[in-house]
A and B are shown apart, each in its own frame.
Chain A
Amino acid sequence: MRMTTSEIAGTRVVSVEEDRIDAAVAVPFRERLMELSHDGPRRIVLDLKSVGFLDSSGLGAIVGAKNALGPDRLLDLAIPKPPVEKVFRMTRMDRVFRIYPDANAALLDVRDV
């Protein structure tokens, strides 16, 4: 899984540099996401900037990472591609995550910083 991190204004941005998060990569994706988010700032923004396809396995990996982070940490999402955002809407997970159109919009929302 090609994933990079940066820390901006007290937020860790974890960017996924892959175009698909499906059952073939869900396990390594979840492990890498946990590794990149288990310590550090309270707020993580997962930037799915190049992800054009996400299935229920990928969704489960993201939800599992949120569960593992616990109630005192924040996992917010930047999702520019409509088909990926639609997966969160269809499963009602758009009510569980804060979803922004891109990482900049997420960083501009400073209500928790």
Chain B
Amino acid sequence: MSDGAVGRPGGTGGVLLRREFRADHAEVRRAIAAAIAGVENSGMDEDARHGLELALAEALTNVVEHAYSGVEGGAVTLILRDGRSAVLCEVRDRGRSMPEGRAPRGSLPAPDGAALPVCGFGFLLIRELATDLIYDRRDDENFLVFRIAKRTAPSRAARAHAAGLPRPVRRLAIKSP
């Protein structure tokens, strides 16, 4: 495990964090804490930092539970770079490929009979929070790359529309006579 160089903040493309760690939940927690500390001076607003924290949790937990399912101590690399208007996140591992070689689309999971879905929310959240998500696999290594905007993201309704998701239902205000 190593903590990398602290870059030049302010959208210079410098590396904010480079961390290599073993794939387990405790290490994921530590990596996320290091990531949040790493972006402190990058100009991210509070909402964006929460989004970064959640997107990283989902991406890294996915590596622990799926790419390295049944494997102890697989290696994970997390790199954060400082873009002008976004933080660029890169997650690498040498575990299994994503299903069908693609990152899940992240649609709302289907109910299981009368029961509500209890899993499948991870990529839905990543796709809500991130832009320009790319998954690739080369030489037995998985790469997941995405951006988290530093300031308030486009409206949820606009993103849902672009993703073909149903728009939130709005109740019409009815004026009393």
Q: Which residue numbers of A lie inside 8 Å of B, CB to CB?
A: 20, 22-24, 53, 55-57, 59-61, 63-64, 66-67, 71, 83, 86-87, 89-93, 95-96
Q: Contact: A56 with B156, CB < 8 Å?
A: no
A-B contact count (CB 8 A): 65
For this complex, 21 residue pairs linking A to B, each with C-beta atoms less than 8 Å apart, are A20-B29, A22-B29, A22-B61, A23-B28, A23-B61, A24-B28, A24-B29, A55-B125, A56-B58, A56-B122, A60-B119, A61-B118, A63-B116, A66-B116, A67-B116, A83-B50, A87-B54, A90-B128, A91-B108, A93-B116, A96-B116
**B119 close to A55 (CB less than 8 A):** no
| Residue in A22, A23, A57 whose Cβ sees the most chain B Cβ within 10 Å | A23
Knowing A22-B61, A23-B57, A87-B125, say if A56 contacts B119 (CB, 8 Å).
yes
Bound CA span A87–B121, Å:
10
Chain B interface secondary structure, helix, strand, loop or mixed? helix
Given contacts A24-B26, A67-B115, A90-B129, 16 further A-B contacts (CB under 8 A): A20-B29, A23-B57, A23-B65, A24-B25, A24-B28, A53-B54, A55-B122, A56-B121, A57-B61, A61-B118, A63-B117, A71-B114, A90-B125, A90-B156, A91-B108, A96-B116
Contact indicator B118/A63 (Cβ below 8 Å):
yes
Assuming the A-B contacts A56-B125, A63-B117, are A83 and B54 also in contact, with contact meaning beta carbons closer than 8 angstroms in the complex? yes
CA distance A83 to B114 in the complex (A): 28
Interface of A is mostly: helix
Across the interface, which residues of A come within 8 angstroms of B29, CB to CB?
A: 20, 22, 24
Option from A67, A71, A90 in Cβ contact (under 8 Å) with B118: A67
Complex contact A55–B116 (CB within 8 A): no
Docked CA distance A64–B121 (Å)? 13
Write out the residue numbers on chain B whose beta carbons fall within 8 Å of the beta carbon of A89: 156
Closest A residue to B61 using CB positions: A23
